Amino acid sequence: MPTLEENIENYLLDFQKNVPKETQDVLNNAIEKLKESKKLSKALKVGDKIPEFSLSNHDRKIINIKDIVEKNKYTVLNFFDGSWSPYSNLQLMALQKVASQLKILNAALITLSPQTQDKSLYLFEKHSLNFDILYDKNNTIAKEFGIVYTLSDEVISTYDKLKVDILEANRNGTFDLPSPATYIVNKNYEIIYAFVDENYRKRCEPKTIIDVIKKDMINKR
């Protein structure tokens, strides 16, 4: 079974074959500029504690993170940009494949996105997901985690050409997005693993999540 990284690499190969070089250059340059900006230098890291929050899910049910953290030994929080992103789709499908393993490990899986609930419900049903997609309106929680950035005018124009409508997806009048991020939290709200990357094409490998939790469980014996 291919890894998430391999699936992303295969998608990128097709993308590079079929998309004009000038379009690719704009997107590649945007990634490099975000790295240079050190925008994510203040993102929450291992040892930090996550804030408490309540958000509605794709079914408009209020989910309180306090209830999740207190009920489970571990909570996995995964931020993604939207259903328009092929990388997010690949990641969510990969997470779905390990959802049952996480449940056995007494670990809850929660995903968060600034896209509207209708978009998330479509995504939830499309991939037959069995974990919540929380509606992080205006990236409120992502901002508390320090992982939000704003698309440049060049990228916005390029996305328009690629038929990606961020304003329609999020309906908040901004071009702010969360960087792909995955956090593993213990019952004390403490982050024991953090994956944050300026390159939105890179995503946390689901196997890594499983391995981190298993290692932490062994260390606590």
The answer to whether residues 50 and 185 touch, using CB atoms and an 8 Å cutoff, is yes
Domains in the chain, number: 1
Closest to 134 (Cα-Cα) out of 211, 57, 60, 79: 57
pLDDT tens string 76-123: 999 999 999 999 999 999 999 999 999 999 999 999 999 999 999 999
**Residues 72, 202: Cα–Cα separation, whole Å:** 28
Strands (E) in 61-151, as ranges, are 62-64, 74-79, 107-113, 132-135, 148-150
pLDDT band at 185 (very low <50, low <70, confident <90, very high): very high
pLDDT of residue 32: 97
pLDDT of residue 1: 81
pLDDT band at 220 (very low <50, low <70, confident <90, very high): confident
What percentage of residues in the chain have a pLDDT greater than 90? 98
pLDDT at 61 over 90: yes
pLDDT of residue 154: 97
Closest to 130 (Cα-Cα) out of 156, 157, 101, 152: 101
pLDDT of residue 41: 94
The answer to whether residues 110 and 131 touch, using CB atoms and an 8 Å cutoff, is yes
Range of the domain at 80: 4-219
pLDDT at 130 over 80: yes
Closest to 169 (Cα-Cα) out of 82, 57, 78: 82
pLDDT tens string 156-170: 999 999 999 999 999
For CA atoms 194, 200, 202, 207, give the dihedral sign: positive
CATH code (residue 99): 3.40.30.10
pLDDT of residue 141: 98
Average pLDDT, the chain: 97
pLDDT tens string 4-30: 999 999 999 999 999 999 999 999 999
- Nearby residues of 188 by Cβ (< 8 Å), 6 or more positions away: 49
